[in-house]
Amino acid sequence: DQQVKQNSPSLSVQEGRISILNCDYTNSMFDYFLWYKKYPAEGPTFLISISSIKDKNEDGRFTVFLNKSAKHLSLHIVPSQPGDSAVYFCAAITTGTASKLTFGTGTRLQVTL
Amino acid sequence: GAGVSQSPSNKVTEKGKDVELRCDPISGHTALYWYRQRLGQGLEFLIYFQGNSAPDKSGLPSDRFSAERTGESVSTLTIQRTQQEDSAVYLCASSYRGLGAGEQYFGPGTRLTVT
């Protein structure tokens, strides 16, 4: 049972444009959400997070939006840069319990020149 | 400062053999996690250590998998009688605190191939 889903395995965006990566979840107990970025042969690196008490969190070029009623979150990258090309994983957690992350399957972002 | 390190970076083993994977977390991080990523899939939680508490083993796929952690330092993940479906990248992560927010720092992973 995939509790965190990233339905787009890949996305191609032109440099300078906006990249929008989507994530859906089914477990209503999740209350904290994270995005990780992964380059080949490296471990995932933390990018940005959002608590369920918020609907938006912004950090530079990266903004995460949370729609709790739809159980949906998205990561916006603007403007997209070639160095953003990587696999992006959405993850979710229920705070106050064993803090294992539940990950989506990832979306491969390719930013083209 | 030093990040999470894992060894070996690659391991090829024959079906039926035992393997041991090692993780050195960031110094001072009390929580340590093991995940694996099989081809085309997301990261799958395996086991979680927090300080001296009993580990959360709920993600271990079978009794062939076990893990140990010495205090708040090194951890080893052992897979006995490896099977081809064990082929995956095994990732270790550590964090300063276990319960609560989940900012976990990952190592580069060990790519295990069972032939």
Interchain CB distance below 8 Å, B45 and A46: no
Amino acid A98: pLDDT:
58
Cβ-count burial A41-76 (b if 16+ within 10 Å, e if not)? eebbebbbbbebeeeeeeeeebbbbbeeeebebbbb
Amino acid B98: pLDDT:
55
CATH numbers and ranges of domains, chain A: 4-112 (2.60.40.10)
The encoded tokens of residue A49 equal 């997070």
Q: Which residues of A touch B (CB under 8 A)?
A: 2, 4, 6, 32, 34, 36, 41-46, 49, 89, 91, 93, 95-106
pLDDT band per the 50, 70, 90 thresholds, residue A26:
very high
Instruction: Enumerate the domain spans of chain B.
Output: 25-99
Give the tens place of pLDDT for each residue, B59-104: 899 999 999 998 888 999 999 999 999 999 999 999 886 544 557 8
**Residue B1: pLDDT over 70:** no
Amino acid B100: pLDDT:
47
- The C-alpha angle A91, A50, A55, rounded to 5 degrees, equals 120
CATH topology classification for B25-99? Immunoglobulin-like (2.60.40)
